């Protein structure tokens, strides 16, 4: 069976126009403590980067309470808890890591500083190879420099920022083989710049933020630099709240070439203390900064933001801490969420062993899973790592018909286009949603790909008939965890990989008892499952076989499968019967089925909710069934059941 890894024919909507991206509205809610490493360690967590639901990396330091003896440290999230990983120690103590950016489970960059003497320090850069962090040889521009933020788009492009000699902003760029450093004076004459974070939406668009100290003025002023692909240009946002010298940007997140959101805090430098601190959020769009966002009232005496993560124009989460006392002696975690209309306070947990001493330093949100926030709790002399996560609540689902018509329900599943009015000689057989929910693919039986919204066409098999015939028709597809590729599967088990999707094997050369009817990727995208109509399961990559219905009697054939973020998998039959594997308490929970219900039309597929707490079944007439039923189950937003359709529904997607 042919393995396709490059584009043969790009199937696009008849208009040929670029699709309009309409971001999905999603919210990080229901924060839960993420089991952490031993609380007996004096351990800080300063930054975090997540690639999948089963891989996040957090960095910080051991012995953080005594900066002269601090040692860089890192912890890895595996989907159920955090464990410490090996970090190469610099020659000198007094070193720490402040930020990390990962592009895969085997490639991350962490940055910080290492002390050279008691009065001088240099930049520290370490790289993760899947098993340990190693120091990267990089020449600092001076013996008084550090890096506080890093953003990597791939293994060939990273930007890191900080400061040098207390007089210049510091920028470091990774080109795939080495780091290069440049410096830039701050926009004000006698300013002392400090860059704390950077985010790159493209290789020609990065935003770095921080603040300046100016000997001629009291307080601090928020600072930003923009990278246009060739140079950094510094600006002082002009719309800051008065007095403008009492504002700090601590973090930034970019979701596109001209859309970045910075978070920090405003305060009063006249001695009012922590009680005068309020959160600050501004958006840079269309090459200019907006007025500060309207934020909810501070719930206690003060609130500051230290981290922000956005993955669409309508979904951001910012984290930090509430000050419970005006002198800053007690505090707890804080989080704000943006839904495209308003910022709202979220309820967050705190370290139960050290009440009133918890705070968040950083956050990273995965579009198809959750937001992970990391920080610390303190007993006054030592720090304990503290982390929490909140699932992404995406509301809605979509149907696709065999003529390419798309029907959407719920605000989190916007309509982005369809093939309903486009003549195509092959029927559409399925659809798959991009991780953020702001794009989707339709696939036809000849392997033609139709991309809408943010979904990118990385290639297809659909060609002029006879030029590249398929042994068997395509029956389904799955998207990679980062949205940068996809797999197609044919009824004989042949697999075709496009974009960054890895070909990990197929059943194309196997004599099958029954045809393949669908596929699903593992949560981290490093493997996939194929399912046959008899319920047989075929696993590739890190997909783990947990059981099947192969060889067992079925009332109706299996028509599809779904993999929840919590692991395991579901199979669904055309009568709506549900089979979960592994069986028992270790497997995904059974929430209900239509196996005993007389259906108007057969079930054609299923989709699980983003947090894995329920699922929807879709029927050929557009009927929808949500489980578990009742208030605890996923919301019913509507269906096509009982309404006329030009062609039958063939798939359902979240």
What digits encode the pLDDT tens for the residues 611-647?
Answer: 678 999 999 999 999 999 988 888 899 999 889 999 9
- Which residue from 622, 572, 585 is spatially nearest to 601, judged by alpha carbons? 622
Instruction: Give the span between the Cα atoms of 54 and 574, in whole angstroms.
Output: 31
Q: What is the model's pLDDT at position 102?
A: 95
Residue 581 CA, chain-centre distance (Å), reads 26
Lowest average pLDDT, out of 155-169, 536-550, 572-586, goes to 155-169
Asked if residue 69 lies in contact with residue 63, where contact means CB atoms within 8 angstroms, the answer is yes
The secondary structure of 3-21 as a DSSP string is ---S-S--B--TT-PPPPP
Residue 241, pLDDT above cutoff 90: no
Residues forming beta bridges with residue 110, ordered by sequence position: 100, 126
Residue 267, pLDDT above cutoff 50: yes
Instruction: Give the span between the Cα atoms of 424 and 444, in whole angstroms.
Output: 9
Residue 550, pLDDT above cutoff 80: yes
Q: What is the model's pLDDT at position 38?
A: 65
Band of pLDDT at residue 113, cut at 50, 70 and 90: very high
Band of pLDDT at residue 24, cut at 50, 70 and 90: low
- Which residue from 555, 561, 552 is spatially nearest to 513, judged by alpha carbons? 552
Q: What is the model's pLDDT at position 217?
A: 59
Averaged pLDDT of the chain: 87
Percent of the chain at pLDDT > 70 equals: 90
Instruction: Give the span between the Cα atoms of 92 and 110, in whole angstroms.
Output: 18
Band of pLDDT at residue 464, cut at 50, 70 and 90: very low
Segment 447-474 mean pLDDT: 81
**Between 169 and 151, whose confidence is greater?**
151
Alpha carbon separation from 475 to 437, 442, 446, 569, 605 (Å, rounded): 22, 11, 9, 19, 12
> Where on the phi/psi map is residue 85: left (φ > 0), alpha (ψ -120 to 50), or beta?
beta
Segment 561-588 mean pLDDT: 92
The secondary structure of 466-490 as a DSSP string is TSS--SS-EEEEEE-TTSSEEEEEE
Q: What is the model's pLDDT at position 1?
A: 30
Alpha helices in 107-197 (DSSP H): none
Rg (CA), the chain: 26
Q: What is the model's pLDDT at position 186?
A: 60
Q: What is the β-pairing status of strands 145-154 and 157-164?
A: antiparallel
What digits encode the pLDDT tens for the residues 424-433?
Answer: 789 999 999 9
Q: What is the model's pLDDT at position 53?
A: 81
Q: What is the model's pLDDT at position 386?
A: 93
Q: What is the model's pLDDT at position 83?
A: 93
Q: What is the model's pLDDT at position 109?
A: 98
Instruction: Give the span between the Cα atoms of 542 and 526, in whole angstroms.
Output: 6
Q: Which helix (H) or strand (E) holds 248?
A: strand 247-256
Asked if residue 430 lies in contact with residue 476, where contact means CB atoms within 8 angstroms, the answer is yes
> What are the structure tokens assigned to 329, written together?
């002696």
Asked if residue 366 lies in contact with residue 436, where contact means CB atoms within 8 angstroms, the answer is no
Instruction: Give the span between the Cα atoms of 330 and 275, in whole angstroms.
Output: 12
Q: What is the model's pLDDT at position 549?
A: 95
What digits encode the pLDDT tens for the residues 196-217?
Answer: 999 998 888 899 999 987 655 5
Segment 112-130 mean pLDDT: 87
Phi, psi of 67 (to 5 degrees): -55, -30
**Between 525 and 569, whose confidence is greater?**
569
Q: What is the model's pLDDT at position 214?
A: 66
Residue 483, pLDDT above cutoff 60: yes
What digits encode the pLDDT tens for the residues 367-384?
Answer: 777 899 999 998 877 788
Phi, psi of 635 (to 5 degrees): -70, 135
Q: pTM to 2 decimals?
A: 0.76
Q: What is the model's pLDDT at position 65?
A: 67
Instruction: Give the span between the Cα atoms of 603 and 648, in whole angstroms.
Output: 11
């Amino acid at each position: 069976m042919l393995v396709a890894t490059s584009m043969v024919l790009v199937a696009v909507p008849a208009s040929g126009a670029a699709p309009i991206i309409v971001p999905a509205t999603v919210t990080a809610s229901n924060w839960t403590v993420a089991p952490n490493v031993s609380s007996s360690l004096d351990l800080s967590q300063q930054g975090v980067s997540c690639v999948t639901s089963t891989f996040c990396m957090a960095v910080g330091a051991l012995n953080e309470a005594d900066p002269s003896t601090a040692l860089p440290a890192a912890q890895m999230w595996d989907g159920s808890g955090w464990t410490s990983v090996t970090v190469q120690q610099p020659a000198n103590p007094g070193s720490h890591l402040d930020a990390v950016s990962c592009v895969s489970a085997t490639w991350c960059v962490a940055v910080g500083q290492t002390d050279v003497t008691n009065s001088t320090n240099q930049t520290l850069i370490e790289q993760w190879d899947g098993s340990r962090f190693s120091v990267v040889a990089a020449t600092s521009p001076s013996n008084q420099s550090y890096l506080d933020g890093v953003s990597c788009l791939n293994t060939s492009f990273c930007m890191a920022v900080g400061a040098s000699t207390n007089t210049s902003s510091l920028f470091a760029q990774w080109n795939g083989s080495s780091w290069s450093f440049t410096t830039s004076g701050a926009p004000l004459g006698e300013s002392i710049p400090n860059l704390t974070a950077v985010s790159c939406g493209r290789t020609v668009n990065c935003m770095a933020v921080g603040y300046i100290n100016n000997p001629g003025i009291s307080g601090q002023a928020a600072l930003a630099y923009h990278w246009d692909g060739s140079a950094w240009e510094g600006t002082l946002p002009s719309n800051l709240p008065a007095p403008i010298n009492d504002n700090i940007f601590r973090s930034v997140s970019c979701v596109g070439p001209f859309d970045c959101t910075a978070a920090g805090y405003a305060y009063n430098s006249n001695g009012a203390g922590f009680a005068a601190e309020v959160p600050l959020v501004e958006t840079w769009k269309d090459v200019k900064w907006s007025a500060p966002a309207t934020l909810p009232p501070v719930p206690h005496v003060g609130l500051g933001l230290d981290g922000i993560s956005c993955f669409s124009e309508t979904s951001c989460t910012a984290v930090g801490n509430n000050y419970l006392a005006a002198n800053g002696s007690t505090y707890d975690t804080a989080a704000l969420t943006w839904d495209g209309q308003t910022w709202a306070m979220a309820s967050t947990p705190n370290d139960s062993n050290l009440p009133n001493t918890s705070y968040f330093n950083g956050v990273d949100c995965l579009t198809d899973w959750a937001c992970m926030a990391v920080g610390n709790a303190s007993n006054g002399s030592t720090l304990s790592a503290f982390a929490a996560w909140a699932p992404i609540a995406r509301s809605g689902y979509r149907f696709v018909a065999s003529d390419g018509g798309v029907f959407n329900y719920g605000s989190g599943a916007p309509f982005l286009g369809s093939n309903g009015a486009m003549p195509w000689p092959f029927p559409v057989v399925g659809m798959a949603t991009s991780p953020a929910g702001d794009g989707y693919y339709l696939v036809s039986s000849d392997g033609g790909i139709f991309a809408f919204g943010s979904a990118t066409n990385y290639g297809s098999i659909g060609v002029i008939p006879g030029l590249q015939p398929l042994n068997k028709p395509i029956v389904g597809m799955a998207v990679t965890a980062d949205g940068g590729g996809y797999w197609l599967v044919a009824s004989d088990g042949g697999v075709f990989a496009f974009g960054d999707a890895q070909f990990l094997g197929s059943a194309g050369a196997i004599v099958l008892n029954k045809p393949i009817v669908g596929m699903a990727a593992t949560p981290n995208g490093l493997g996939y499952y194929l399912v046959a109509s008899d319920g047989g399961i075929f696993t590739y990559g890190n997909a783990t076989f947990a059981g099947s219905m192969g060889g067992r009697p079925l009332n109706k054939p299996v028509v599809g499968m779904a993999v929840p973020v919590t692991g395991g998998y579901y199979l669904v039959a055309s009568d709506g019967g549900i089979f979960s594997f592994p069986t028992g308490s270790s497997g995904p929970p059974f929430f209900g089925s239509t196996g005993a219900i007389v259906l108007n039309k057969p079930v054609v597929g299923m989709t699980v909710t983003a947090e894995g707490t329920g699922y929807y079944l879709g029927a050929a007439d557009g009927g929808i069934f949500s489980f578990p039923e009742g208030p605890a189950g996923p919301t019913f937003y509507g269906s096509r059941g009982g309404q006329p359709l030009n062609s039958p529904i063939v798939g359902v997607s979240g």
